[in-house]
Structure 1
Amino acid sequence: MFELFRDNQSAVDEFLRTRTRWLPARISLAIMAWFGFVNLYMVRINLSVAIVAMVKRNTTGGVAVACESQLQESVSVFLHNADNETSDYVLPKGAYQLSTAIPTTPNEEGELLWDETTQGLVLGAFFYGYALTQVAGGRMAELYGTKLVFGLCILAGGICAILSPVMARAHYGALIALRVVQGMLQGPSWPSMHACIARWIPPIERPRFIAIVYLASTLSSAMTLPLCGVIIDNHGWASQFYVMGALSLLWCCVWFAFMYDSPDEHPRISDDELKYIETALRESGTNTNRPRRIPWREVFTNLPVWAILSACAGTGWGISLLFAQLPTYMKNVLGFSIRSNGAISAVPFLCRYIGGITWSSLSAWLITRKYISLRTSRRVFGAISLWGPAVMILGVSFAGCNAKLAITLLCLALFLNGATTTSVLVNHTDIAPNFAGTLLGLDNTVGSIMAFVVPIVTGVMTDGQQSLEAWQRVFWSCVPMYGVMAIFFLIFVSTDVQPWNDFGNSIKSSSSSSASKKDTSSG
């Protein structure tokens, strides 16, 4: 089948050229990458919902004890039942277990006997491996292209998802090992795409590209969590791993067939679009050559780089807590059923996606009209993305049993954090576009460390006592992480291309000669 496709590649390209003239090549890239990030996160976060159904519920905690004074005053706890209908349940006075008043279905009780600490290890295992391959992944994409690196990331994720149920039933250690491998193989994903946008997307369009494409990961959470809930409720927890894995494998077929690493390699790009992209990239300091070596000493002694890393540490702590632990909090503390858990847990992540598009569009509007400078934009939206969630999550810690208020504050926290698309996430391409993949690899390494520490810390804080007080301490941990790291970022952030950006650029890209030909023909 693949031989047949290769033999007819020219015919396919010509067919698509005549029917997609209205679609710019960078938009088709964005569409493919968007679906890639959706699949990337489907196989990463589905475990967060599945584990609620995989594991037998801990009924020794003191959730209802924490709420007992409110319950004795007949305060209603807002819940969603299995039919997804809104209703108010009032627990009887003196009730000590919230689970006694929550209607459950057979599928909600799992088959695995894992305590909270074990669950934390399983949920964090992905990031043990994920942290190891970030920098190498960005570097590989800079040298060998995003098509290969990003495509293999999604392929590996699909295969690991399909194998997950077998490993989980064998032993939790086997699943941990598989998740570590999955993390290692998917680690290069974000850095590889950063290397791609540095060569494909004009600087003024990058924040919006990142908001729409990269935060498809967030939108994926909004879609995956309720989808997992429905699949698990109807077919059991193992089935959702098979569905997510199959979708990833299907995407790979399209990606490897139609993705190109640079505009000048694309057979269907128009001359006008190619000229527009190349002009914008030259003005931003992006080199058409591939950097042979990385100036590590200059990178690690550069304050703007450390500003990005500090902001990522703060964001990574908060986002990791919500990605991995929100479904557990929804069920064990707020009392949502499996079916409604996925749907309700998804809403804050949908707000982050909307926030990303909103803030990036506002930033572009302000910059193009010269109301603010580029550096001011990075500072203003950086503060919004870090301090905003800190305040909202602090509010969640005091929301108590008021589920409506807790969900509202979580939605606002992630909506505000969406401003990271036009501040922290895009700043690598400002200061060193030629090393954008490597820098994001460093960035994500820091975020990954936060991601595998957070589930363990949460497991220790809540072990055997799924109470409001325990979760309050968990939420409090986000506030100093967000707040302090934001201060460092605001002081040292820069938008100037650093002197070491052109260090060691001596490997010619394979397509540089064809680029000059196209440029000549279009002139």
Structure 2
Amino acid sequence: MKLLCCGGSNGTMDMEAKNSTKEDEAVGKHSGLGIRHFQIFLLFFALTVAYALRVNLSVAVVAMTDAASVNPDFPEYDWSEQTKSLLLSSFFWGYVITQVPAGQLARKYGGKVMLLSGLAVCSVLNILTPICARIGGWQLVCALRVVEGLCQGVVFPSTHTILSQWAPPKERATLGTCAYSGNQFGTIIMLATSGVIAASPIGWPSIFYISGGIGCVWAVVYFFFGAGSPQECKSISAEEKKLIEMSQADEVSNDQELPKELLPTPWLSFFTSPAFLVLIVAHSVHNWGFWTLLTEIPSYMKNILGKDIKSNALLSALPYVCMFAMSFVFSSISAQLNNRNCISRVTSRKLFNSIGLWIPMVTLIGLAYVNPDQSEVAVVLLCFTVGMNGATYLGYNMNHIDLSPNFAGILMGITNGVANIMSIIAPLIVGFIVTNEHDPEQWRIVFFIAAAFYLVGNTLFVIFGKANVQPWNDPPAKPRRNSTPQVESQH
């Protein structure tokens, strides 16, 4: 990585400064809140809804299988631990399948259509969960969760497609962080409220009714006010539209005969690009560590430290509160560095990705050596580890759009699909290693493996990662009859 003093000039920085001149002038004329910020606000709530629908079963299943101790007025199901694990994992079976197709469909039909349809159907299915449990048992609930996963597989690729249309390059990291912080917000809200709802007079079915109902309300609002791009938005001002178009001018080919949604997808170029291959690695190692923490830390805290944080809603949500808050702290720092031209885009991506992966690498090793009588220290380290992960929103997470604004949704679908396979494998590896949950030595191996993934993955990203638009962003269209051959744009 190459850090430069503010106001300094040097090859790459000079080029980026020249390319951003027109954007700076446009921003000066329209620097306040605009329609693009409202669209990001809608995306924030889309991801809030998505994660609320995703994690609600993890809390509700406790009340569904032990209603007598929570609220005996509602049905109780005799489901084994194996059945509950099957139900909790079934969502990801469908989720992985639709990642890559979703990116392609978002390019063809628009990000709004895919995001709206996916979350609307998922919300309705969520409302039907208590009914399915009553009439079809765990088998029907499992099938329902698979379909919900299929529906939510469109969320990230569609969100990236919409962001690539709405976010000016200099605002990309900030606006992207604001949108994706909905992930943590939805998790926090659901973890903090589900237990209270289950114990209230309205019971555990209301966990699904409320979260699904809010999703339906969001869908109605987004149908009327959401837009996949500035060109589709009727309420955007001419000045703001010009700002976005001018800022993205250097990332769009000026000699394309075909609309970009009809451009051929350069699949071979994707998988022969070192910059994209290391992006897959960076996304995958982040998911490995993140899901190792999410799924296994409660067991570690209970069996090694004698403290079951899953029984305490506040402690369960606290790491995600830290990540939610820190993502905005990092976003503000990034905005200041970019506004003062202190740092190039590629350096910014690598710097914040290193903060989000290498600092947690150190704290994971620290967690491995916490003594059983130091549970408070372990909670602090856990919060710090997850909180620092928020910096990756400004790292690899926005890098898809940097490499290819035209194919950002497809790139996100590919990396998220691979990364979620890693999310499924990581807990299985933990189960293979930790044969005795009370053995600290076995848990140390788990933390060392996650730390090693962080180290290797981010090192490759720092060495080979790029943040400039790749030549395959504008593939040459096939010549049409009675037309001159398409000339590939140069970057």
TM-score normalised to structure 2 length: 0.81
* Paired letter, 1:478: A
Assess if the C-alpha contact under 8 Å between 2:63 and 2:70 holds in 1: no
Q: How does 1:352-501 map to 2 (within 5 A)?
A: 352-399=323-370, 400=372, 402-458=374-430, 467=438, 469=440, 474-501=446-473
CA distances 1:358-384 after superposition (whole Å, capped 9, x unpaired): 222212322332322221111111111
Q: Post-superposition shift, 1:51?
A: 3.0
Bigger drift between 486-495 and 37-46 goes to 486-495
| Distance (whole Å) between structure 2 residues aligned to residue 50 and residue 402 of structure 1 | 30
Q: Would the alpha carbon gap of residues 499 and 241 (structure 1) be closer, same or farther in structure 2, given more than 3 Å must change?
A: same
Cα displacement (A) at 1:325: 5.1
Unmatched 5+ stretches in structure 1: 1-21, 58-103, 508-523
Correspondence 1:26 to 2:36:
yes
Corresponding residue of 2:230:
263
**Whole-Å separation in 2 of the counterparts to 1:398 and 1:238:** 41
Q: 1:238 aligns with which of 205, 213, 216?
A: 205
Q: 1:100-136 deviations in whole A, cap 9, x for unaligned?
A: xxxx954599944445444333222211111111111
Cα distance in 1 for partners of 2:297, 2:193 equals 16
Residues 1:192 and 2:202 aligned together: no
- 395 and 302 in structure 1: CA distance in 2 versus 1, 3 angstrom threshold: same
Q: Percent identity?
A: 35
In structure 2, C-alpha distance between the alignment counterparts of 1:119 and 1:184, rounded to whole Å: 20
SS in 1 for 2:59: helix
Contact 1:366 1:372 in 2 (8 A): yes
Please tell me whether residue 44 in structure 1 is matched to residue 54 in structure 2. yes
- 1:214 and 2:180 equivalent? yes
Residue among 225, 242, 251 paired with 1:275? 242
Q: CA deviation at 1:54?
A: 3.6
Match of 2:123 in 1: 158
Give the drift of 1:410.
1.5
Partner secondary structure for residue 341 of structure 2: coil
1:56–1:114 Cα contact (<8 Å) kept: no
Residues 224-270 of structure 1: per-residue CA shift (max 9 Å, x gap): 10111211232443321221111111111101111122212211111
CA distance, structure 1, for counterparts of residue 253 and residue 327 of structure 2: 25
Residues 33-87 of structure 1: per-residue CA shift (max 9 Å, x gap) = 1111111110001122223334469xxxxxxxxxxxxxxxxxxxxxxxxxxxxxx
Secondary structure of 1:433's counterpart equals coil
When residues 242 and 492 of structure 1 are mapped into structure 2, their CA distance, relative to the original with a 3 A threshold, is: same
| Counterpart amino acid of residue 284 in structure 1 | E
Q: Give the TM-score of the pair, scaled to structure 1.
A: 0.77
Q: In structure 1, how many angstroms separate the alpha carbons of the residues matched to 2:312 and 2:425? A: 24
Q: Distance in 2 between matches of 1:336 and 1:48?
A: 15
CA distance in 1, matches of 2:375, 2:199: 22
Q: Which runs of 5+ in 2 are unaligned?
A: 1-31, 480-491
The aligned residue for residue 148 of structure 1 is: 113
- Post-superposition Cα deviations, 1:384-415, rounded to whole Å, max 9, x if no partner, equal 11112222223233333533222211111122
- How far 1:306 sits from its partner (Å)? 0.7
Report the more deviating stretch, 242-251 or 368-377. Answer: 368-377
Q: CA deviation at 1:443?
A: 1.1
Structure-1 separation of matches of 2:444 and 2:212: 35
* 1:242 to 1:253, Cα distance in 2 relative to 1, 3 A: same
* Residue 102 of structure 2 is aligned to residue 137 of structure 1: yes
Change (3 A) 1:328 1:343: farther
Query: Which residue in 1 is equivalent to 2:29?
Result: none
CA apart distance, 1:25: 0.8
Cα separation, partners in 2 of 1:135 and 1:337, compared to 1, 3 Å:
closer
Q: Which residue matches 1:92?
A: none
Contact kept, 8 Å, 2:307 with 2:375, in 1: the verdict is: no
- Range with greater deviation from structure 2 (309-318 or 151-160): 151-160
The aligned amino acid for 1:347 is: L
Go from structure 1 to structure 2 and tell me whether the alpha carbon gap of 1:462 and 1:242 turns closer, same or farther (over 3 Å shift).
farther
Q: Distance in 2 between matches of 1:105 and 1:480?
A: 42
Change in CA separation of 1:142 and 1:370 when aligned onto 2, cut-off 3 Å: same
